[in-house]
């Protein structure tokens, strides 16, 4: 009843940890404890380039991804105001062509089962369904894990329990991110119209022909003041659609069934009215979560580590959750492997906690703090999107593709070269939020949200991306000169 590693949770983060541990140290005794008899669908269906690299090139799931899931065609954003009566009237941001690097739209229940199966095939032991009731930590010794009233011992415990965050809550490390009070409501839907359907091309020919790539398998985003909607197609025809909103800016309706309230909210956007007229949510698959972002004040110790959502969550915009899995799992595997090889780990542990704490905080400040103030502003989001994606490709995505999987041991914004970029990103994010607040005071929001289209070639890993970043920075300067002065020194330093 003694193991080298007990992993709490067998979905993506837990199974990935087991796969990489058994691959690194084939004699390691690994136990996965999974509470569910079978996985159900969950949010987190869209990957971006880092997580796609991790799933495909590190975990070896490329064939499975291509056979059982959908290739993602980037991100698209749809804006509206009082002048947008139809889908074609909405302002749009997105690629004109197909994407350059792989990413996927996932049915999480399918990929979670597949990766867990591979972990067991590599020699990990699985107890399922089984529930971890408590964990007693002993620094540098054997940890005690109580599973269904049975006590197990392990040198390491890896918490991959997701939003349950078992260890963080048990040890009082769990903290709500109150600076970002977002909530979400979502469902899976049937009878949702295809964005590339022939009848839409007949109805809106100019709109259809403006994009040479595929719109339907992109992650489409509908945007409103203080809220946004994800729109993710799944293999087999169902569509995951949900809304995320800042509770300081949006009041969620209280009356009626949750599915009815969600659909009513969605239909205020012209794109949803066009594509969801006959849509029906799947019974039993409508969900609500009030406080989305949180974090753990401790990420690892001599005998335990937190991976994926058990270590923290910021926001689903830009789908960073599986990137976080990629980094936390990679670093945790190397931490455990170092100890098992007899290497001193005190310095590695200190760096692990410092880097992941810094990464969470900086990623939040640079991309998400007060972003919901300007999410629905076409011109500001156009600039933010170019800068956010440009820096992501230039400084983050390029690293594993050019240096290999070792780059995943360096979480985002944890290294010295990334610090200047962090300061640039947090500055334009803060300024765009201040400019939007000034527009709100003047009742001038959403004036550029109709009949505008920004379609661009996909980003690459080449230095030419710098040109797009420079153009966007120049566009930011123009906005500051034209109207930014209205907010200088007032909530927008």
- Write the pLDDT tens digit of every residue in 27-65: 999 999 999 999 998 888 999 999 999 999 999 999 999
Is 233 within 8 Å of 216 (Cβ atoms)?
A: yes
pLDDT above 90 covers a percentage of the chain that reads: 93
- Cα–Cα nearest to 219, from 294, 320, 85: 320
Model pTM score: 0.95
The pLDDT of residue 347 is 96
Q: How far apart are CA 4 and CA 339, in angstroms?
A: 11
What backbone torsions phi and psi does residue 332 show, to the nearest 5 degrees? -65, -40
Residue 490 pLDDT more than 70? no
Q: Report the alpha-carbon distance of residue 83 to residue 81 in Å, rounded.
A: 5
Residue 492 pLDDT more than 60?
Answer: no
| Tokens (6 digits) for 175 | 């903290």
Q: Is the pLDDT of residue 486 over 90?
A: no
pLDDT tens string 261-294: 999 999 999 999 999 999 999 999 999 999 999 9
Band of the pLDDT at 346, cuts 50, 70, 90? very high
Nearest Cα residue to 287 out of 110, 163, 161, 116: 163
CATH 3.40.109.10 fits 1-67+106-175+294-369, yes or no: no
Q: What does the pLDDT average to over 358-374?
A: 97
Say what percent of the chain tops pLDDT 70.
Answer: 99
Instruction: Report d(CA 279, CA 233) in Å as an integer.
Output: 13
- For residues 129, 183, 426, 307, the Cα torsion angle rounded to the nearest 10 degrees is -10
- Please give the pLDDT value at position 47: 96
**Alpha-carbon span 104 to 117, nearest angstrom:** 20
CATH of 68-102+178-289, picked from 3.30.9.100, 3.20.20.120, 3.30.1540.20, 3.50.50.60, is: 3.30.9.100
Beta carbons of 243 and 184 less than 8 angstroms apart: yes
Instruction: Give pLDDT tens digits for 161-190.
Output: 999 999 999 999 999 999 999 999 999 999
- 3-class secondary structure per residue, the chain: CEEEEEEECCCHHHHHHHHHHHHHCCCCCEEEECCCCCCCCCCCCECCHHHHHHHHHHCCCHHHHHHHCEECCCEEEEECCCCCCCHHHEEEEEECCCCCCCCEECCHHHHHHHHHHHHHHCCCEEECCCCEEEEECCCCCCEEEEECCEEEEEEEEEECCHHHCHHHHHCCCEEECCCCCEEEEEEEEECCCCCCCHHHHHHCHHHHHHCCCCCCCCEEEEEECCEEEEEEECCCCCEEEEEEEECCCCCCCCCCCHHHHHHHHHCCCHHHHHHCCCCEEEEEEEEEECCCCEEECCCEECCEEECHHHCEECCCCCCCHHHHHHHHHHHHHHHHHHHHCCCCCHHHHHHHHHHHHHHHHHHHHHHHCCHHHCCCCHHHHHHHHHHHHHHHHHHHHHHHHHHCHHHHHCCCCCCHHHHHHHHHHHHHHHHHHHHHHHHHHCCCCCCCCECCEEEECCCCCCCCHHHHHHHHHHHHHHHHHHCHHHHCCCCCC
CA distance 293 to 377: 23
Q: What is the mean pLDDT of the chain?
A: 95
Strands 300-301 and 182-190, how do they pair?
Answer: unpaired
Residue range 454-473, pLDDT digits in tens: 998 888 888 888 888 999 99
The pair of structure tokens assigned to 423 is 């300061």
* Domains of the chain by residue range: 1-67+106-175+294-369, 68-102+178-289
pLDDT at 493 exceeding the cut of 60: no
Task: Report the C-alpha gap between 146 and 212 in whole angstroms.
Answer: 56
- pLDDT at 457 (0 to 100): 85
Residue among 68, 66, 88, 63 nearest 78 (CA)? 88
Taking every pair of Cα atoms in the chain, the longest distance, rounded to a whole number of angstroms, is 69
């Amino acid at each position: 009843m003694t193991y080298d590693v007990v992993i709490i949770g067998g979905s993506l983060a837990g199974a990935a940890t087991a796969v990489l541990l058994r691959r690194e140290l084939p004699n390691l005794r690994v136990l996965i404890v999974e509470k569910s008899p079978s996985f159900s669908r969950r949010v987190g269906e869209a990957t971006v380039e880092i997580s796609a690299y991790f799933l495909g090139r590190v975990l070896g799931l490329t064939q499975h991804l291509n056979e059982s899931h959908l290739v993602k065609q980037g991100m698209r954003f749809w804006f509206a105001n009082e002048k947008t009566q139809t889908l074609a009237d909405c302002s749009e941001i997105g690629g004109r062509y197909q994407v350059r690097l792989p990413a996927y739209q996932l049915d999480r229940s399918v990929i979670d089962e597949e990766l867990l199966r591979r972990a067991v095939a590599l020699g990990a032991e699985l107890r399922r369904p089984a529930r971890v009731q408590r964990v007693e930590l002993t620094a540098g010794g054997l940890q005690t894990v109580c599973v269904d009233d049975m006590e197990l011992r392990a040198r390491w415990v890896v918490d991959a329990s997701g939003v349950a965050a078992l260890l963080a809550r048990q040890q009082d490390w769990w903290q709500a991110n109150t600076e970002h009070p977002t909530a979400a409501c979502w469902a899976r839907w049937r009878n949702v119209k295809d964005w590339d359907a022939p009848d839409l091309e007949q109805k809106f020919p100019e709109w259809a022909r403006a994009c040479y790539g595929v719109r339907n398998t992109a992650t489409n985003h509908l945007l409103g003041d203080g809220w946004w909607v994800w729109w993710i197609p799944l293999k087999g025809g169902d569509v995951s659609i949900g809304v995320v909103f800042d509770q300081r800016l949006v009041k969620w309706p209280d009356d009626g069934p949750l599915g009815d309230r969600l659909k009513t909210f969605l239909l205020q956007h012209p794109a949803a009215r066009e594509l969801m007229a006959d849509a029906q949510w799947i019974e039993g698959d409508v969900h609500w979560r009030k406080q989305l972002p949180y974090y753990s004040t401790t990420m690892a110790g001599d005998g335990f580590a937190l991976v994926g959502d058990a270590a923290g969550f910021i926001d689903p915009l830009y789908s960073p959750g599986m990137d976080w899995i990629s980094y936390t799992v990679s670093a945790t595997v190397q931490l455990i492997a170092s100890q098992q090889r007899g290497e001193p780990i005190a310095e590695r542990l200190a760096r692990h906690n410092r880097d992941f704490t810094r990464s969470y905080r900086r990623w939040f400040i640079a991309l998400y703090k007060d972003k919901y103030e300007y999410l629905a502003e076409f011109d500001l989001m156009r600039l933010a999107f170019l800068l956010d994606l440009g820096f992501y490709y230039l400084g983050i995505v390029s690293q594993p593709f050019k240096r290999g999987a070792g780059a995943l041991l360096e979480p985002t914004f944890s290294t010295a070269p990334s610090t200047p970029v962090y300061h640039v990103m947090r500055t334009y994010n803060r300024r765009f939020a201040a400019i939007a607040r000034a527009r709100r005071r003047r009742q001038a929001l959403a004036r550029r949200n109709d009949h505008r289209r920004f379609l661009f070639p996909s980003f690459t890993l080449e230095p030419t991306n710098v040109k797009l970043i420079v153009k966007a920075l120049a566009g930011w300067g123009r906005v500051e000169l034209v109207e930014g002065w209205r907010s200088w020194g007032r909530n927008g330093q």
